[in-house]
Structure 1
């Protein structure tokens, strides 16, 4: 049997060929200078294989010539006019290669990434190949890492292409094109005629059903920061300096007032004076119990973006791009997954052994292999039934720059998942002084997973022994003043969390939506120390506040609408809703909003003008 295998990227095609052929393959050029065809025998299935690739999506979607230019029609008609789907210009030579190779093949085996987008690209590949040979058998290889065991298993046990997932992606592409084009043209044509800065830049004032709720989160937090008014509060500070059993030097134990703090000075002062009137403190309770700091859950795409952005100071999109490159090189599993639980039969020990040679965490990996060292990873609540959590698949010691940092983070995270929770004893001491309750706690550390996962901290402080009923005179008893703290601007990690929680985008697209609002200059990146914050530009603020003034029941700047779209995509994937039904329902909803937005767009103009120049803050 002649089998044509098509991967999503040239690097994946080469890696698959090397694994399946044992390195014994011949290489032929294709009509595309970046894509090669690899030929070899695969005796395990008594087949002759040709492996080639595409470079992502083959097709492009656009309106016909009569509607393509900005002034060709009323933007509203774009909700209904036909959309043309064609092979993109840059994919013409790739299409030619697929047709040529398909004509001589008995089976087409699709090796695109195993997610929704991969299923859609796979359906595009199948359409091209079936036009060249209508009776070609179409199969799908499922794998989550470029490692020999998984690649051979995928080649020997192909499955059917998931057309429902492909339909869901197709519906989302068509819907986003119609909505984005209609609103973008309306916004741009209206605003550019009124603001000189936009006329000079000539950039479109783009709208996107994901990018606007994303921008809405940034503007909302910005408004919270700007409207914040600090409040003064007061509290009683109590501490004792006493030597511990392990040290002759006095240690200060600070006790926390049970009331926390109060905003009424007179009330706080009265309580403080009462404490001063009876300054002898009495220990009323001592509770000692074991405590833990839980090791991290297995790593998902969203958690990689959140934690990596916060800990490595890399943009979410940069993190995913680096992880994708490491996956293509065979060092990581597929980095786009919603799953935070490993299969019970997952072979952890073979992966742990590969890390024993590393000079930084090799000793930790060795300890995991010994008796009582390994403890199975925690089980999260999410499982996309497609890919395991992100984990290293091979050891590599000569990486540099961002690749080294991302690989190290993922590897340390995986080893921490296979270790024990950090353990210790917590002692809580409650005292009463002048009728007020105070408490202090002690944590004694047993580090375990913390020895490898250097990104987590667990602080404890040794305090003296206390016995119930004993009395002491505090070293310090003061009335102190504080002030409520302003919320901070959003970090990229904060924004990823909000988007994930509210269903804006998918684990694989969240990073791109954030990058889009930055590229459009709706949002600016502001550094404060080592932390990067996101703040809206005047244009970003004007658009969001303007649409909010219209008073939609479901605001264009809020997540409800996009959340409904994402749920509809899931229903299409599950087969409970058709692509046509999803499109019809969503388009009608956005049509109504468009009509109202156009009718009241003067509110957007007015609000935008109130912010002064409609360019970006510098």
Structure 2
């Protein structure tokens, strides 16, 4: 029997769609056909069904947070089934063990490889014959083609090795540094958990570094000399090249120019050509959609993943901006399909041989994001989905258009011996910009876009000189979209639109970057207001402690990412990397303890900690902590255990999936009872549902009434 293991229910349904099939409660049966003469059974995960074991699963001593039990370094790592998903795992396990051949059909990427292979291992089915479906598009034709050309499991195993090495490294660094920094901060009177990580902490330091540059910046007033020239009744503006920080100096030079004749010394006109933009990787799409619509990177990923699962675009978690010849062959058909919704010129150039777009050497795991031949109508998508689809579609259309061409004229006008520069621009051929005609012109381009009158070299013109006052501007704080590029380049200032040279050298991966930003927000290290990112007092406190350590350095993390990328390419082994991670965890713990005496806690954070302590002590406990037995009290933003300073990390949220968790329900949970029925929870995909809550092993789980149908995607509502 062939068993196909998908990553999610929606993906399973899509994979079954080209075949005659029967949908059952927890599986889909494909009828015998040419590709599956004996038929096939599709089962699915719900995202991750297994996770790395908690420290106490290795040694009971590691359950409590104590400095003398650090570092936490297991000899061998273990995985465990996620408790809330245990029944579903059991069903998948039973089906996998009946299989003759298992076809891994999770997302074609490192994380998908990790999800599937860990499930197969935990199910005891590793010795089965295993094949890999690698499908970058979920259209019916692409699915059939991928099933007809299954890959060997060994071909994609390096992706699993990379994902496993990344998971172990993140676990070692995250567990150890979070514990040591939290415990050391508690010794200084802080009451919050200071979660840290191999990727999130360097990013936080980069954000804070920009803020410090802004804070150190001293604004200065400057003066420039401008001239308005009159050429036979038509005027144009020119600027003297020097900027003055002393007004008297500028005024003195201005006086020397007054009343002096002016003439055109030199006119230079060049034809400039601007090539169409590259196709999109996930990073470039996230950055542009944030800049254009202020959509958060995590939201962009969610939307483009939805478009992929509906079969409208190719696989989204790609770091490539190029395609291979195979994909380019489909471009004419895709363009023809797009003509139903877009006004596309008839005579398009072929780009099948254009290495700007078609370059296999610049394609890694997946090619650039492109629309498929399955083109939707605007009314079939949500407003935000259409914005994303529209951008991806226009990027492909624009690639087939001619260059944007304009004449740039530079005029040098002399007032006596002083030279003034004027720049004008005249569009000759709009080219690909016709596809993006509603987009705002870049500010720098707009400034050099004044219309110039007809001029000749040697022509005399009438000058009127004036002073223009300005002030120097500090660096701008990052927007949420700029954080994606910041992570991609590991903080280096790179303007090239083709970021493929940075492959494997940034912070995180295409699939994880938006999640890392979300983590910083959830852990109250950063705030995003009107798309502008700023660090909180808590974030500043952590940065001050880690800024000069290895944990805070983006360049080291970027080098580690490069090594991980090499593991995924089968070029380097994973074992040495894991051993280095263990050594790093030991070093980071010892380094934090050594430096702790020099940490300075900001006054604002000390006040918050003291106020929290007084408030907690004065309250009556709502119940006993299920982890340590001490009292649980209401804090400013959550319900927390009195045993916080001795290492207990039990908390309950005040708000859960859009609903407030009141004291009465908290009391019920802490007494071992179910909460009352809470109506109006909203899953991550926006689906409303009702449920009761209860505590199992210190974690909130949902309880549904018999008549209540739970959301179809339970990973949308599970509590991590």
Fold match by TM threshold 0.5: yes
Match of 2:529 in 1: 526
Residue in 2 aligned with 1:589? 584
Task: From 449, 472, 486, give the equivalent of 1:484.
Answer: 472
* Local SS of the residue matching 2:270: strand
Post-superposition Cα deviations, 1:5-32, rounded to whole Å, max 9, x if no partner, equal 111111111011012x1xx2112223xx
Q: Which residue of 2 aligns with 1:450?
A: 433
Preserved contact between residue 5 and residue 111 of structure 1 (Cα < 8 Å): yes
Partner of 1:419: 401
Match of 1:340 among 316, 321, 324: 321
Tell me the equivalent position of 1:14: 13
- After superposition, the C-alpha distances for 1:315-359 in whole angstroms (9 at most, x for unaligned) are 11111011111111111111111111122341211111121221x
User: CA shift at 1:510, angstroms?
Assistant: 1.0
Which residue matches 2:357?
Answer: 379
Partners of 2:392 and 2:412 in 1: CA distance: 41
Mean Cα displacement is larger for which, 392-401 or 265-274? 265-274
Per the alignment, residue 645 of structure 2 pairs with: none
* Higher mean C-alpha deviation, range 264-273 or range 532-541: 264-273
Listed as ranges, the gaps of 5+ residues in structure 1 are: 31-35, 244-249
1:506 to 500, 506, 509: 509
Instruction: Report the counterpart of residue 38 of structure 1 in structure 2.
Output: 29
On the 8 A contact 1:277/1:434 being kept in 2, the answer is no
- Measure the CA separation in 2 of the matches of 1:533 and 1:574: 37
User: Does structure 1 residue 602 correspond to structure 2 residue 597?
Assistant: yes
Relative to structure 1, the CA distance from residue 175 to residue 608 in structure 2 (aligned partners, 3 Å threshold; closer, same or farther) is farther
* CA apart distance, 1:97: 2.6
1:479-506 CA distance string (max 9 Å, x none): 2221101222111122222111011111
Partner secondary structure for residue 325 of structure 2: coil
Q: Is the contact made by 1:141 and 1:158 (CA closer than 8 Å) also made in structure 2?
A: yes
> In structure 1, how many angstroms separate the alpha carbons of the residues matched to 2:107 and 2:93?
21
Instruction: Answer yes or no: is 1:286 the counterpart of 2:267.
Output: yes
Q: Contact (CA 8 Å) 2:478, 2:533: kept in 1 or not?
A: yes
Match of 1:461 in 2: 450
CA displacement at 1:185 relative to structure 2: 1.4
* Aligned partner (choices 361, 372, 384) of residue 402 of structure 1: 384
Tell me, yes or no, if structure 1 residue 258 matches structure 2 residue 241: yes
The Cα of 1:194 is off from its aligned counterpart by 3.9
Offset of residue 595 of structure 1: 0.4
Quick one: which of 566, 570, 577 aligns to 2:561?
566
Instruction: Tell me which residue corresponds to 1:536.
Output: 535
2:296 pairs with one of 312, 315, 319: 315
Distance 1:182 1:44, change over 3 A: closer
Matches within 5 A, 1:62-73: 62=53, 63-65=55-57, 66-71=60-65
Partner of 2:106: 112
Q: Deviations over 1:356-409 (max 9, x none)?
A: 221xxx212xx1xx2345556733988342212112222222122322222222
From 23, 28, 46, the counterpart of 1:27: 23
Offset of 1:81 from its aligned partner? 5.5
CA 1:421/1:461 → structure 2, altered by over 3 Å: closer, same or farther?
Answer: same
State how far apart, in whole Å, the 2-side matches of 1:128 and 1:139 are: 18
Report if the CA contact (8 A) 2:56-2:63 is conserved: no
Provide the C-alpha distance between the structure 2 equivalents of 1:602 and 1:611, rounded to a whole number of angstroms: 17
User: What is the DSSP-based 3-state SS (H/G/I as helix, E as strand, rest coil) of the residue aligned with 2:265?
Assistant: strand
Shift of 1:431: 1.4
Q: Paired residue for 1:143, among 129, 135, 138?
A: 135
Counterpart contact for 1:565–1:586, Cα < 8 Å: no
Matched with 2:421 is 439
Rounded to whole Å, the distance in 1 between the matches of 2:182 and 2:303 is: 35
Aligned equivalents of 1:75 and 1:566: distance in 2? 29
Q: Hey, what does 2:657 align to over in structure 1?
A: none
CA distance in 2, matches of 1:580, 1:340: 31
Q: Distance between the aligned counterparts of 1:215 and 1:302, measured in 2?
A: 18
- Partner Cα separation in structure 2 for residue 103 and residue 589 of structure 1: 39
- SS of residue paired to 1:64: helix
* Equivalent position to 1:97, from 88, 91, 96: 91
- Name the residue aligned to 1:33: none
Distance 1:373 1:238, change over 3 A: same
Q: Residues 79 and 515 from structure 1, CA distance in 2 versus in 1: closer, same or farther, beyond 3 angstroms?
A: same
Deviation sequence 1:203-242 (CA, Å, 0-9, x none): 5211111111111111111111122111121211012245
Contact 1:79/1:179 (8 A) holds in 2: no
Q: CA offset at residue 82 of structure 1?
A: 4.8
Tell me, yes or no, if the aligned pair for 2:50 and 2:119 is still in contact at 8 Å.
no
Partners of 1:7 and 1:146 in 2: CA distance: 13
- Is the aligned partner of 1:221 residue 2:210? yes
Q: Secondary structure at the match of 2:94?
A: helix
**Structure-2 change in CA distance of 1:413 and 1:391 (3 Å):** same
Alpha-carbon distance between aligned partners in 1 of 2:587 and 2:62, rounded to the nearest angstrom: 23
1:273 CA drift (Å): 2.6
CA–CA separation in structure 1 for the residues paired with 2:128 and 2:75:
34
Please state if 1:153 is matched with 2:142.
no
In the alignment, the residues of structure 2 paired with residue 461 and residue 269 of structure 1 have an alpha-carbon distance, to the nearest angstrom, of: 26
Is the partner of 1:255 in helix, strand or coil? strand
How far the C-alpha of 1:37 sits from its partner, in A, is: 2.2
- Tell me, in whole angstroms, the C-alpha distance in 2 between the residues paired with 1:98 and 1:392: 33
Task: Specify the alignment match of 2:71 in structure 1.
Answer: 77
Matching residue within 181, 190, 210 for 2:175: 181
Of the structure 1 ranges 374-383 and 511-520, higher mean CA displacement relative to structure 2 is found in: 374-383
Q: Take 1:517 and 1:588, find their aligned partners in 2: how far apart are those partners?
A: 26
Q: Compared with structure 1, are the counterparts of its residues 95 and 77 closer, same or farther at alpha carbon in structure 2 (3 Å cutoff)?
A: same
Aligned pair in 2 of structure 1 residues 180, 44: CA closer, same or farther (>3 Å)?
A: closer
> Residue 511 of structure 1: SS of its match in structure 2?
helix
Tell whether 2:350 aligns with 1:351. Answer: no
Q: 1:171 to 1:67 in 2, by over 3 A?
A: farther
Distance 1:602 1:6, change over 3 A: same
CA RMSD of aligned residues (A): 2.6
Shift of 1:181: 1.2
The TM-score, its normalising length taken from structure 1, stands at 0.87
**Separation in 2 of the partners of 1:206 and 1:69?**
17
- Residue number among 118, 121, 126 corresponding to 2:120 in the alignment: 126
Q: For residue 363 of structure 1, what is the aligned residue in structure 2?
A: 343
Contact 1:490 1:533 in 2 (8 A): yes
Question: Which among 291, 300, 306 is matched to residue 325 of structure 1?
Answer: 306
DSSP 3-state at the match of 2:103: strand
Match of 1:517 in 2: 520
- In structure 2, the CA distance between the partners of 1:102 and 1:547, relative to structure 1 (3 Å rule), is closer
1:177 positional shift: 1.2
